[in-house]
Amino acid sequence: MNVSSVNHGGRRGLLHGLILLLILIPSVSAQDRQPPPAPPIPVGPVSVEEVFQHNEEYKSRAESYPPIASGIEFLKNYPRKIRIEVFYGSWCGDSRNHVPPLLKVISAAGNPNIEVAFWAVDRTKTEPAEPIKQRRIVRVPTFIVFDGDHELGRIVEIPTSSIEEDLYRILEPTVRERKEPGATPLKQTGGQGT
């Protein structure tokens, strides 16, 4: 065996190794630069804390929302127990626009008679299947107001005026029917917050 043929074969192997290394380095480097996978979207019943956890911008949107003061006052004094079921998508623009104001309004009212339950919906609006079917959810967000098992009304996708005005329109007739205190006309205050 002659030395020149060994060196020639070694160089060729070294050359192939370098070429392979040059091919692999960019692909490994590109994998390192890829962003981490997005967290899975929530589906099913979620707490208020989980709503904020999965939708970080909701907190600043809720804080910056200027509710109508008379709407807050009406809700603060609403005398009956009600439940608002909120079907929303963490992926949905309309949910991002309208769920934070609801959170602000309910928090500002601070009425223990008003219970809110959140249901996170998948992108196809088919999961969680049973509640979606039972409540006939087609669009999100959908806010459904209940007195016991009786549906009083709903706000679908976009409020007619504002969350608090639409809630007033849904709830005010129940106060008038019973002639209970707390039914005061809703006054526009130019978005003056509480």
Question: From the first residue on, what is the mean pLDDT of each consecutive set of 10 residues in the chain (194 residues)?
Answer: 52 61 56 65 92 92 96 96 97 96 97 98 95 96 97 97 96 77 48 39
Q: How far is 161 from 129, CA to CA, in rounded Å?
A: 30
CA dihedral 58, 64, 67, 72 (to 10 degrees): 70
In total, the chain counts a number of residues equal to 194
Q: Give yes or no: residues 144 and 66 share one domain.
A: yes
Q: Give yes or no: residues 2 and 61 share one domain.
A: no
Q: Which two tokens stand for residue 92?
A: 């949905």
Q: Give yes or no: residues 25 and 57 share one domain.
A: no
Q: Give yes or no: residues 22 and 48 share one domain.
A: no
SS3 percent helix, strand, coil of the chain, rounded to 5, is 50, 15, 35
Instruction: Decide if 191 is inside a domain.
Output: no
pTM (whole model) above 0.85: no
Please say whether the beta carbons of 155 and 142 come within 8 A: yes
Return the pLDDT at 175.
84
Q: How far is 40 from 62, CA to CA, in rounded Å?
A: 23
Return the pLDDT at 138.
96
Q: Give yes or no: residues 55 and 115 share one domain.
A: yes
Q: How far is 141 from 132, CA to CA, in rounded Å?
A: 12
Return the pLDDT at 134.
96
Q: Give yes or no: residues 107 and 26 share one domain.
A: no
Report the number of distinct structural domains present in the chain.
2
Q: Give yes or no: residues 19 and 111 share one domain.
A: no
Q: How far is 89 from 63, CA to CA, in rounded Å?
A: 20
Q: Give yes or no: residues 73 and 152 share one domain.
A: yes
Considering only CA atoms, which of 95, 96, 80 is closest in space to residue 146? 80
Segments forming the whole domain that contains residue 68:
44-178
Q: Give yes or no: residues 7 and 86 share one domain.
A: no
Q: Which residue has the tokens 């016991």?
A: 148
Instruction: Decide if 190 is inside a domain.
Output: no
CATH number at residue 72: 3.40.30.10
Q: How far is 55 from 89, CA to CA, in rounded Å?
A: 10
Task: Count Cβ atoms below 10 Å from residue 132 Cβ, excluding itself.
Answer: 20
Q: Give yes or no: residues 11 and 68 share one domain.
A: no
Q: Give yes or no: residues 9 and 76 share one domain.
A: no
